[in-house]
Amino acid sequence: PQLYKQMAIAADFERVFEVGPVFRAENSNTRRHLCEFTGLDMEMAVNHHYMEIIRVLHSMFTTLFSGLESRCAAELAVIRKQYPSQMPRLTPEPCVLHWEEAMQMLRGAGEEVSGFDDLSPAHERLLGDLVGESRQTDLYFLDRFPAEVRPFYTMPCPDDPRFSNSYDIFLRGEEICSGAQRVHDPGMLTEAISARGVPLQPLKDYIDSMRYGMPPHGGAGIGLERLVFLYLNLDNVRKASMFPRDP
């Protein structure tokens, strides 16, 4: 729903929330991937800074987790008899780690990282351990991803275009969500699409929707099965789906 929720923002919907099926056409046969899952997507206009989105997401997870513990206490007690877990630790305010800080932490732990490649699952888990130990939280935001590893509609950082105004959210050392501020200028967006070698014609309506006054905006997409899998500290995402579709 990525392009469509952005077009809804252009139509003066200040905030858009959507829950629905997502189909992943890739052969990711891992403990955390499904070919079909339920996605929670959100998009919102930004007034001053894209950190507003991060604050909304942090508030959402805080409310969601506390609500699960209070409203589903009996069900959680049954599950935790077989799969022991505790509610993830949270900080009162969003715990935000910049990409450059993350690279320094990994290098300090003896890892070789280039600084511009995406994180491997092993590095994600190690970073989760390091952040958990130093910040006392199981949920954190990794901000300012390298622009090259993000989609064409991601806004580059104004101070250094090698990086972007984008973030992933990690829970217990694994990614549960990707998000970013989006490019809202049609000229800038056209250049970004062309630079990636993506055909412009199929995206004409999407680009044109921004020609009539698109506000700065951004959002995120969350896989709910993966969220359940990590919230309950299970060993495989398939246990978080009644009928898992996998490769």
State pLDDT tens for residues 161-186: 999 999 999 999 999 999 999 999 99
Could you tell me the domains of the chain? 2-240 (3.30.930.10)
Q: Does pLDDT of 27 surpass 80?
A: no
Question: CA 213 from chain center: how many Å?
Answer: 26
Residues labelled as active-site residues: 24, 26, 32-33, 175, 178, 226
Please answer whether residues 185 and 212 qualify as being in contact, where contact means their C-beta atoms are separated by less than 8 angstroms.
no
Q: Which two tokens stand for residue 214?
A: 């698109």
Q: Which two tokens stand for residue 240?
A: 């978080």
| pTM of the shown model | 0.94
Q: Residue written as tokens 């899998």? A: 229
**24 falls in which pLDDT band (50, 70, 90)?**
confident
Per-residue pLDDT of 71-112, as tens digits, reads 999 999 999 999 999 999 999 999 999 999 999 999 999 999
- Residue 116: how many other CB atoms lie within 10 Å: 14
Per-residue pLDDT of 131-140, as tens digits, reads 999 999 999 9
Q: Which two tokens stand for residue 190?
A: 């056209």
Per-residue pLDDT of 77-87, as tens digits, reads 999 999 999 99
Per-residue pLDDT of 30-56, as tens digits, reads 899 999 999 999 999 999 999 999 999
- Residue 111: how many other CB atoms lie within 10 Å: 14
Please answer whether residues 143 and 96 qualify as being in contact, where contact means their C-beta atoms are separated by less than 8 angstroms.
yes
